[in-house]
Chains A and B, each alone.
Chain A
């Protein structure tokens, strides 16, 4: 099917869905739909655009998907909780299934006045906050995010009031599950972290059935003055899963964001990390890791806008690619006029384990201010022979030495995870992933059939 055909199909779906979208959502969300869809359809699914230079989105969209316009009656499989259980990590867990939030027995308001609920509930209870923030951070920055805005009905909302340190990390477990259908979803999350407040969010994405999935999700994050957020996202889906995951962040004065994006498994993955450093002295650290093999594609697109003076940004993405996997990395840094004393550092390092694996890495620095420090670096290489020999000379087999070195390579990212139990769990997952055990035994029914 051609992109034109898919665009016109999406138009037809949108026209038909107008009514059910309204019935199962909220007026505050509806307000944005028409304009967002117009923005999307004006250019349609991106093809060879500056932002999506290497991303081939057609295969992801070119399937029959079922779009759930009302909350599903699916029950959450308790095994699913087990798959993303982090031993020793006490979190508040919220589930979504195909983008719809599952009910929980916790009160709406938590200690310190923290609110975690579904997006429509938030629209009903806290319309002022939604008017201020909903689609304010994503806006019309990306056509696929606009497609999400057109269809978005549900997702997770979190508000941490000024001065509150959230007592436990929020763990969002996003599950994709189809009975007989391939499923498409448009989850929409919003996180508001108040002045001087701190929070930790861990988002895990899993697939629970063998169907093909397309999730096009958007998360908007507002960090107020002096707010601090650790945001971890871990993707472990199957090869039939396509995932477009956009995070839009606005940071006010002296706020800090640490975002860690870990892609363990998935068919097609596009992560858009769009950060606006809007307030003086704000800081963002974007770290990422991807382990890809077979025909997987992982595309990390980052854009950091230094709009105020004295902000710092740091990016480090590392990937290990085997078989005919392809990875893309774009590190766009925009330094606006007047953003003096900007510091922006960026690096992307890749290990290629086969002749067919490929990496496209693009730094894009757009600097319109004086007195700035920016650096970028990218490497694509193989395992170091000297190090291999050193390990083998101590009695370690070649296969084990390779694993140790890949693990070590990835650990530079994993080692930055502040939550120790999570760090250990991710280390363990990475080790399993590199040994090929994750796809075989972990989530067994969900992965093994599709990986050969």
Chain B
């Protein structure tokens, strides 16, 4: 099997507090994983550490991405290697248009892999095609990135960026939160179109509902900085029924 991501005994500290306390996780190409868990379990910390956020300090463990040491790479190189994080709270950047941002990003990816810049005509064609995937308005292209976007538009914009950058590994950090049913379907559709034998998706979520559309191969439950349970998609349904207390009782944390 083609191993994309290997996380070994990952510990991380934020503001002096240990949040990740020994995560072990393997993701193979072609797989969809769901990471679930109660608030404060460390789900978002895990995604931030993987994406390379600098104020999250790794104190122990290692992460291998496509056989390369992920933790040694700056955030931009992780992205250029094919890691994509869909932000839980996408940032508004006034004065930077979505289209310029995407063009810069994709050309930096291409430069990294020794390719020439995207020919402008083809770039716009590709952009239009990907916009249809997620059903966003073309007016959005010339607007400042995320500025004044509704919550749903921001999340759709994340999926749109993902569709454009075609990552090897996409991590969706609570992309479903705050979405109505229609937007949820759009997001799911975008993710499902990305999925292929060569790449993988990690869906971080509290709820089962996105997993009805993006069906996971593996479900992990995170609690108190550790993966406490790993099973098939039926685990998500069980969690939906029983809640997280059931897990907490099985594996009491330090808190």
A-to-B contact residues, CB < 8 Å: 384, 386-387, 389-398, 400, 404-405, 407-412, 415
- Tell me if B85 counts as interface (CB < 8 A to partner A): yes
When each residue 63-101 of chain B gets 1 if its CB lies under 8 Å from chain A and 0 otherwise, what string results?
Answer: 000000000001110111000010100111111100011
CB of A400 within 8 A of CB of B54, answer no
The CA of A420 and the CA of B51, in the complex, are separated in Å by 39
B-to-A contact residues, CB < 8 Å: 51-54, 74-76, 78-80, 85, 87, 90-96, 100-101, 104-106, 108-109, 112, 144, 161, 165
CB of B95 within 8 A of CB of A386, answer no
Residues of A within 8 A of B80 (CB): 395
CB of B74 within 8 A of CB of A392, answer yes
A393-B79 in contact given A405-B96, A408-B96, A410-B95 (Cβ < 8 Å): yes
Chain B residue nearest in CB terms to A409: B95
Residues of A within 8 A of B53 (CB): 389
Pairs of residues from A and B, 8 with the lowest C-beta to C-beta distance, nearest first: A408-B95, A411-B95, A395-B79, A408-B96, A390-B91, A392-B75, A394-B105, A395-B80
CB of B51 within 8 A of CB of A396, answer no
CB of B93 within 8 A of CB of A408, answer yes
Known contacts A391-B93, A408-B144; 7 further A-B pairs (Cβ under 8 A):
A390-B91, A390-B93, A392-B52, A392-B76, A395-B80, A409-B94, A411-B96
Residues of A within 8 A of B74 (CB): 392, 398
Residues of A within 8 A of B54 (CB): 389
- Which of B94, B104, B109, B112 has a CB less than 8 Å from the CB of A400? B104
The CA of A394 and the CA of B157, in the complex, are separated in Å by 13
The CA of A396 and the CA of B76, in the complex, are separated in Å by 6
- Which of B92, B94, B101, B112 has a CB less than 8 Å from the CB of A394? B101
Can you name 24 A-B residue pairings with CB atoms under 8 Å?
A389-B54, A389-B91, A390-B90, A390-B91, A391-B101, A391-B105, A392-B76, A393-B51, A393-B75, A393-B79, A394-B101, A394-B105, A395-B76, A395-B105, A395-B109, A395-B112, A397-B108, A398-B76, A405-B93, A408-B93, A408-B95, A408-B96, A411-B95, A415-B95
The CA of A398 and the CA of B108, in the complex, are separated in Å by 11
CB of A400 within 8 A of CB of B108, answer yes
Residues of A within 8 A of B94 (CB): 408-409, 411-412
Among B74, B93, B101, B112, the most chain A Cβ lie within 10 Å of the Cβ of: B93
Chain A residue nearest in CB terms to B102: A394
Residues of B within 8 A of A397 (CB): 76, 108
Residues of A within 8 A of B52 (CB): 392-393
CB of A387 within 8 A of CB of B108, answer no
The CA of A30 and the CA of B101, in the complex, are separated in Å by 57
Among A397, A398, A410, A411, the most chain B Cβ lie within 10 Å of the Cβ of: A397
The CA of A225 and the CA of B161, in the complex, are separated in Å by 50
The CA of A394 and the CA of B51, in the complex, are separated in Å by 10
CB of B95 within 8 A of CB of A387, answer no
- Which of A384, A396, A411, A415 has a CB less than 8 Å from the CB of B108? A396
CB of A404 within 8 A of CB of B108, answer no
CB of A392 within 8 A of CB of B79, answer yes
The CA of A329 and the CA of B104, in the complex, are separated in Å by 34
Residues of A within 8 A of B92 (CB): 387
CB of B76 within 8 A of CB of A390, answer no
Residues of B within 8 A of A394 (CB): 79, 101, 105, 161, 165
Residues of A within 8 A of B76 (CB): 392-393, 395-398
A407-B95 in contact given A389-B53, A395-B109 (Cβ < 8 Å): yes
Q: How far is the CB of A412 from chain B (nearest CB, A)?
A: 6
Among B78, B104, B161, the most chain A Cβ lie within 10 Å of the Cβ of: B104
CB of A387 within 8 A of CB of B93, answer yes
CB of B161 within 8 A of CB of A412, answer no
CB of B101 within 8 A of CB of A404, answer yes
Residues of B within 8 A of A411 (CB): 94-96
Chain A residue nearest in CB terms to B55: A385
Among A391, A395, A415, the most chain B Cβ lie within 10 Å of the Cβ of: A395
Q: How far is the CB of B115 from chain A (nearest CB, A)?
A: 13
The CA of A384 and the CA of B95, in the complex, are separated in Å by 14
Q: How far is the CB of B235 from chain A (nearest CB, A)?
A: 29
The CA of A404 and the CA of B100, in the complex, are separated in Å by 9
Q: How far is the CB of B158 from chain A (nearest CB, A)?
A: 10
Residues of A within 8 A of B87 (CB): 390, 393
- Which of A386, A404, A415 has a CB less than 8 Å from the CB of B104? A404
Residues of A within 8 A of B90 (CB): 390
Chain B residue nearest in CB terms to A398: B76
The CA of A387 and the CA of B91, in the complex, are separated in Å by 6
The CA of A400 and the CA of B52, in the complex, are separated in Å by 17
CB of A395 within 8 A of CB of B91, answer no
The CA of A415 and the CA of B143, in the complex, are separated in Å by 11
- Which of B85, B95, B106 has a CB less than 8 Å from the CB of A412? B95
Chain A residue nearest in CB terms to B89: A386
